[in-house]
């Protein structure tokens, strides 16, 4: 399925597409050189927003849970990438322990798990599932929508190693983003590869750190292509304090929102963009879509603090100290059947292995689509993203558009790699 590319056939994004296509060998070489210095996350997904005048990643997920939404025909790409990843990490490996999210009643998530099991089995590993849920005390069937079943088993911790009964893995793959914190079972596993590492979990990870790393990556990449990094980089600032109900807290937030809005407006003017700038306020940690607030003018919102606090309550966060990121809003101009859509790109190791459109009929172009009611349109994303057609008219070719999305998503992934290096608590030991 090829989406309706509603973005205009002229303007900055098509110049960017053109430049990215022309520079394909240079871009791929640049990534190769980056991967000589940095380690890609084991797997990741990146939400990309295409405003027509700007294209930027807005979320980089290090515990991707939508493998069920990928085009099954393109799964061999994921298998091949998994083979390459395993070969680097633990080529002697026989066993892989997969630790899923605690939630068990979501059939989409279960299919995501089944897809991961399939990918890693076919990459040559015995895959078993160990549950963080303490109510799992014996092997428990997890029925799948297609009539088959997975088995959840209780985790067994023996001194430095984590496994299952009669199952000692070389590598442990986490598919839980640790929003609830790091379970003691997972601490100090120095003898095994725990992927992603604990500091990639939302207990420790911060979006501000990610976007600081992304800015560095975007500047390097923009220099390579000789362009303004703003075209691929959403302005982001952090704001934190002790109390969002206090005048100091609200003022701090308003100041940062005004800063982001005024900078964005200046850029819109520079590029002749006739749209109203907006900012999004998100919790600095976690993937709670309900916590995202769209703001068009800090002064218009009299009770900004109260509204942010209300959003945070939806994410289970209490009053008191707050950590937020204020980010330039990037509208999405993609549509699938008239509904607002944004591409999500899936990666394994350094490779784009697939993607889909997240579609939300009830949301506007300036709102988060990561909310109840979203649906997913699988695309042969990787297929197209790796096989752009040189010489086609800019903006007219879905494969070329997808190649560009794959490049921007890989910039997000590379930023996550930088980020995890900077935030690695183990690294300090040797510093």
If binding is defined by CB under 8 A, does position 29 make contact with a second copy? yes
Within 224-283, which residues bind a second copy (CB under 8 A)? none
Strands 43-50 and 156-158 come out as unpaired
From 48-56, 124-132, 161-169, 357-365, give the range in contact with a second copy by CB under 8 A: 124-132
If binding is defined by CB under 8 A, does position 393 make contact with a second copy? no
For residues 240, 246, 247 and 253, what is the CA-based torsion angle, rounded to 10 degrees?
Answer: 30
Within 5-24, which residues bind a second copy (CB under 8 A)? 24
**CB-nearer residue toward a second copy: 79 or 136:** 79
If binding is defined by CB under 8 A, does position 147 make contact with a second copy? no
If binding is defined by CB under 8 A, does position 382 make contact with a second copy? yes
If binding is defined by CB under 8 A, does position 388 make contact with a second copy? yes
Residue 135, Cβ density class (10 Å: 0-12 exposed, 13-18 middle, ≥19 buried) = exposed
- Least Å distance, CB 94 to a second copy, is 6
Helix, strand, coil proportions of the chain in percent (round to 5)? 40, 25, 40
Cβ of 347: how many Cβ atoms within 10 Å? 28
Binding mask 193-212 for a second copy (x = CB under 8 A): --------------------
Query: What is the total residue count of the chain?
Result: 431
Given a contact cutoff of 8 angstroms between Cβ atoms, the answer to whether 100 and 176 are in contact is: yes
Find the binder of a second copy among 8, 10, 22, 28 (CB under 8 A).
Answer: 28
Find the binder of a second copy among 13, 70, 79, 374 (CB under 8 A).
Answer: 79
Find the binder of a second copy among 20, 62, 123, 178 (CB under 8 A).
Answer: 123
Q: Both ends of the chain: CA-CA distance in Å? A: 50
Q: What are the residues whose beta carbons fall under 8 Å from the beta carbon of 28, sequence distance 6 or more?
A: none
**CB-nearer residue toward a second copy: 45 or 254:** 45
From 2-10, 177-185, 261-269, 385-393, give the range in contact with a second copy by CB under 8 A: 385-393
Find the binder of a second copy among 93, 285, 408, 411 (CB under 8 A).
Answer: 93
If binding is defined by CB under 8 A, does position 124 make contact with a second copy? yes
**CB-nearer residue toward a second copy: 239 or 347:** 347
If binding is defined by CB under 8 A, does position 55 make contact with a second copy? no
Cα–Cα separations (whole angstroms), residue 323 to 59, 182, 201, 203, 285? 17, 19, 16, 13, 8
- Least Å distance, CB 124 to a second copy, is 2
Find the binder of a second copy among 46, 70, 75, 414 (CB under 8 A).
Answer: 75
**CB-nearer residue toward a second copy: 250 or 352:** 352
For 229-249, b/e burial (b = at least 16 CB within 10 A) is bbbbbbbbbbbbbeebeeeeb
If binding is defined by CB under 8 A, does position 80 make contact with a second copy? yes
Find the binder of a second copy among 4, 10, 22, 94 (CB under 8 A).
Answer: 94
Cβ of 195: how many Cβ atoms within 10 Å? 18
Find the binder of a second copy among 20, 58, 77, 341 (CB under 8 A).
Answer: 77
Binding mask 101-120 for a second copy (x = CB under 8 A): -----------------x--
Given a contact cutoff of 8 angstroms between Cβ atoms, the answer to whether 29 and 184 are in contact is: no
Q: How many CA atoms lie within 13 A of 63 on its CB side?
A: 25
- Least Å distance, CB 379 to a second copy, is 13
Q: What is the DSSP code (8-state) at residue 286?
A: S
Find the binder of a second copy among 36, 147, 272, 274 (CB under 8 A).
Answer: 36
Cα–Cα separations (whole angstroms), residue 24 to 20, 237, 401? 6, 31, 13
If binding is defined by CB under 8 A, does position 423 make contact with a second copy? no
How far, in Å, CA of 420 to CA of 194, rounded?
Answer: 14
263: closest CA among 253, 247, 277, 244? 277
**CB-nearer residue toward a second copy: 121 or 240:** 121
Within 281-340, which residues bind a second copy (CB under 8 A)? none
Find the binder of a second copy among 13, 27, 70, 250 (CB under 8 A).
Answer: 27
Find the binder of a second copy among 33, 149, 319, 338 (CB under 8 A).
Answer: 33
Strands 351-360 and 55-61 come out as unpaired
Q: φ and ψ at 390, to 5 degrees?
A: -65, 145
Cα–Cα separations (whole angstroms), residue 328 to 57, 312, 331, 411, 416? 12, 19, 10, 18, 19
Interacting residues toward a second copy by CB under 8 A: 24-29, 31-33, 35-36, 73-77, 79-81, 83-84, 86-87, 91-94, 118, 121-126, 350-351, 380, 382-383, 385-388
């Amino acid at each position: 399925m090829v989406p309706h590319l509603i973005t205009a056939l002229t303007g900055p994004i098509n110049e960017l597409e053109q430049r990215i296509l022309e520079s394909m060998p240079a871009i791929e070489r640049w990534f190769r050189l980056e991967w000589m210095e940095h380690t890609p996350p084991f797997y990741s997904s990146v939400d990309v927003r295409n405003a027509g005048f700007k294209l930027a990643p807005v979320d980089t997920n290090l515990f991707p849970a939508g493998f069920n939404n990928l085009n099954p025909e393109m799964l061999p790409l994921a298998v091949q990438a998994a083979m390459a990843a395993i070969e680097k990490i633990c080529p002697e490996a026989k066993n892989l322990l997969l630790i899923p999210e605690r939630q068990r009643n979501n059939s989409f998530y279960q299919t995501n798990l089944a897809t991961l099991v399939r990918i890693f089995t076919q990459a040559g590993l015995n895959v078993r599932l160990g549950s963080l849920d303490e109510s799992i005390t014996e092997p428990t069937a997890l029925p799948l929508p297609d009539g088959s079943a997975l088995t959840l088993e209780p985790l067994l911790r023996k001194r430095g190693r984590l496994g299952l009964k009669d199952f000692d893995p070389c590598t442990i793959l986490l598919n839980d983003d640790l929003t609830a914190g790091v379970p003691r079972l997972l601490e100090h596993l120095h003898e095994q590869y725990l992927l992603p590492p604990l500091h990639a979990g939302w207990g420790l990870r911060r979006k501000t750190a990610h976007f600081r790393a992304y800015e560095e990556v975007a500047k390097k990449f923009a220099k390579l292509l000789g362009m303004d990094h703003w075209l691929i980089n959403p302005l982001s600032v952090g704001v934190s304090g002790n109390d969002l109900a206090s005048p100091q807290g609200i003022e701090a937030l308003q100041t940062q929102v005004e800063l982001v809005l005024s900078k964005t407006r200046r850029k819109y003017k520079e590029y002749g963009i006739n749209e109203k700038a907006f900012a999004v306020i998100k919790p600095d940690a976690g993937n709670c879509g309900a916590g995202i607030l769209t703001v068009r003018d800090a002064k218009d919102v009299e009770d900004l603090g109260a509204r942010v606090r209300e959003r945070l309550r939806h994410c289970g966060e209490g009053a008191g100290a707050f950590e937020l990121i204020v980010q330039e809003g990037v509208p999405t101009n993609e549509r699938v059947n008239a509904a607002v859509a944004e591409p999500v790109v899936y990666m394994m190791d350094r490779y784009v292995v697939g993607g889909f459109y997240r579609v939300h009929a009830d949301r506007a172009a300036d709102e988060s689509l990561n909310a109840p009611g979203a649906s997913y349109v699988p695309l042969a994303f990787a297929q197209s993203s790796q096989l752009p057609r040189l010489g086609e008219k800019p903006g007219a070719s879905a494969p070329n558009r997808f190649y560009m999305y794959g490049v921007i998503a890989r910039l997000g992934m590379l930023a996550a790699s930088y980020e995890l290096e900077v935030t690695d608590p183990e690294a300090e030991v040797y510093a």
